[in-house]
Structure 1
């Protein structure tokens, strides 16, 4: 029923680092060739924890967009936009808040977890409690059915699915729904109508998930149905009403293997990052001064690569032969730590070079970035407008 559409966003936290590249952006670059993609700057989300320091958000927005473009996100393949420039997000968030049980929000695992992590901030705000609902509105307003997330974010997608289901159940019952759905079944033609009815019965009476998949595939292949009839048949299939909001799937992404300079996860809060567009001399200096295996006090002391943060970089950047050279050289003291670090420096600089070149083009002409975002916001608003028209109609808010 809905286009295969991916939605993903990032909070504007300033310049991005290699952890962001290996954890998120590389995946976005791959997805933009496989799906219709929307990537957005989650500036309202930044306010849930930085409501008292909004000044840092604006510059961070543009730095981050340049980093996306530098990394290889292609505005001719993906729609890039800023959340706050599409006010329909806020309208859907408000309308969904009217029917969202409070307990659903309080149960979110990240709610208590974040409050503990950021205990120095007063997060007893409505915005912080409601941010999973705003996140759900971000996804549902574009009828995105694929959302790339790590394991820790899966509960947010499940929450969004439950919300879509609840909305469709509450508001998808248009007057005469059954009659309209049965009339739409007849439009499938005798053979297909019979198959649809059989699959629908198998799913509703036996909970047969394969029958549900087959019936969905059957509907997706029908070119002669109107959008309204198609939506009715999807809803009728599952025993609900008209499908107004799409239930998204979590598109699981592998956790970033990118370590920080000290061997911990790369994070600004640990002060162990390499920025995406960092100056070459600075990158080389940071890697040269990285801590190594504490057992290697002298050049002649053998070491254990697994105990050295530099080895973690080799796992990301080196081919098998190079890793064997490191293993052999380190355990026998055949190579020194600086020799071991040089191939890592070369590999990181090589990865960053095209990023710096692309970024320079946008920094020399900032209007290009503004135009890309302006076009993206326009496209996003068109899609959001369509959803909100259906939502308002379903909730009885389309009176003139």
Structure 2
């Protein structure tokens, strides 16, 4: 028997809306693959989503099952992956409380991901405390399951770094190896641009293509994509860099030679935007159609989807509870244990 331990993977999504192609290329494809190679926990991060959705809690809770449906639609197998709801695993909140004692406010404010998100939301100094401590919450999620690998986008790398800082600080404090450091798993395409070419793909910015998009919605989205504003006629040489259509072709078209030929033709002139968009539209239609079909099948029995998540949450509590017991034991918080 091999002595190599199976990797443990923790990943998840803030449940503020159904998932889109940016999520798919960023980590969903990796999650489907990893479930055959690792023990995988998929977190529906409703608690974290509430940190910047005050007064919009109903939107967050309604989308928990929507994200679970997306997971199942892309091929996540609940027999291989544990899907669970963050707020229903109280062990995570307790572990976060202990980890908060190991990090300063100044260190949290220096986290590049948090700094960028604070600026994006216009919080300035009026930062919700829950949002500022988001990295510690994420660290609790990861360490509770002793995850060794975490699929993330490159913008989340500072979060992994801070998680490992907390792991080392805790283990040094209790003078034993209790928590486990993790490593980031980056996809080949770490970030997909939005349809407008001005920002990463985001449902809140209105520049995303949902995984459940209809054929007409896909066509409309592709036709609206930002290309080269100076490519006014098909005969004009065009620029590929910054061209959203080609960014999508790089991400979703498996025939690399075909994409390279399209790029070369576009650069030298003689290839219209409408032709390139038609190629991309056909590719995305073929990609999303089976996902959309599976999603509709699961939507027909939402009670079973809820049962899948309930069973996953019970499993998650067992695992997180075991880690929490180790943490409390290391801290001496075992007053009544015999």
TM-score (norm 2): 0.88
Taking the aligned partners of 1:120 and 1:35, their CA distance within structure 2 comes to 38
Name the structure 1 match of 2:142. Answer: 139
Taking the aligned partners of 1:393 and 1:66, their CA distance within structure 2 comes to 38
Paired residues of 1:41 and 1:83 also in contact (CA < 8 A):
yes
Q: 1:385 to 1:309 in 2, by over 3 A?
A: closer
2:278 to 323, 342, 361: 342
1:148 to 145, 148, 151: 151
Taking the aligned partners of 2:5 and 2:235, their CA distance within structure 1 comes to 63
Shift, 1:158, TM fit = 2.6
Paired residues of 1:315 and 1:323 also in contact (CA < 8 A):
yes
Shift, 1:315, TM fit = 2.4
Alignment of structure 1 residues 198-217 onto 2, 5 Å: none
Q: 1:125 to 1:78 in 2, by over 3 A?
A: same
Taking the aligned partners of 1:99 and 1:298, their CA distance within structure 2 comes to 60
Taking the aligned partners of 2:329 and 2:243, their CA distance within structure 1 comes to 60
Paired residues of 1:7 and 1:38 also in contact (CA < 8 A):
yes
Name the structure 1 match of 2:113. Answer: 110
Taking the aligned partners of 1:36 and 1:50, their CA distance within structure 2 comes to 31
Shift, 1:122, TM fit = 7.1
Asked if 1:251 is matched to 2:254, the reply is no
Asked if 1:366 is matched to 2:282, the reply is no
Taking the aligned partners of 2:15 and 2:38, their CA distance within structure 1 comes to 24
Asked if 1:89 is matched to 2:92, the reply is yes
Name the structure 2 match of 1:39. Answer: 42
Asked if 1:288 is matched to 2:291, the reply is no
Shift, 1:351, TM fit = 0.4
Shift, 1:268, TM fit = 2.7
Shift, 1:336, TM fit = 3.6
Partner of 2:141, secondary structure, is: helix
Name the structure 2 match of 1:297. Answer: 232
Taking the aligned partners of 1:31 and 1:99, their CA distance within structure 2 comes to 31
Partner of 1:268, secondary structure, is: coil
Partner of 1:81, secondary structure, is: strand
Name the structure 1 match of 2:290. Answer: 354
Q: 1:121 to 1:352 in 2, by over 3 A?
A: farther
Name the structure 2 match of 1:70. Answer: 73
Taking the aligned partners of 1:145 and 1:34, their CA distance within structure 2 comes to 13
Gaps of 5+ in 2: none
Asked if 1:389 is matched to 2:325, the reply is yes
Alignment of structure 1 residues 115-264 onto 2, 5 Å: 115-119=118-122, 123-171=126-174, 241-256=175-190, 258-264=192-198
Name the structure 2 match of 1:181. Answer: none
Taking the aligned partners of 1:298 and 1:73, their CA distance within structure 2 comes to 44
How many residue pairs align between the two structures?
A: 331
Name the structure 2 match of 1:226. Answer: none
Shift, 1:360, TM fit = 1.0
For 1:346-397, what per-residue CA distance to the aligned partner results, in whole angstroms no more than 9, with x for missing partners?
Answer: 1101001110121011111101210110111011011111112222222222
Shift, 1:38, TM fit = 0.6
Larger-gyration structure (1/2): 1
Taking the aligned partners of 2:113 and 2:294, their CA distance within structure 1 comes to 36
1:277 to 212, 222, 227: 212
Taking the aligned partners of 1:134 and 1:394, their CA distance within structure 2 comes to 20
Taking the aligned partners of 1:313 and 1:305, their CA distance within structure 2 comes to 11
Shift, 1:7, TM fit = 0.8
Taking the aligned partners of 1:286 and 1:150, their CA distance within structure 2 comes to 23
Paired residues of 2:19 and 2:210 also in contact (CA < 8 A):
yes
Taking the aligned partners of 1:314 and 1:130, their CA distance within structure 2 comes to 37
Paired residues of 1:33 and 1:77 also in contact (CA < 8 A):
yes
Q: 1:338 to 1:93 in 2, by over 3 A?
A: same
TM-score (norm 1): 0.75
Paired residues of 1:75 and 1:372 also in contact (CA < 8 A):
yes
Shift, 1:145, TM fit = 2.0
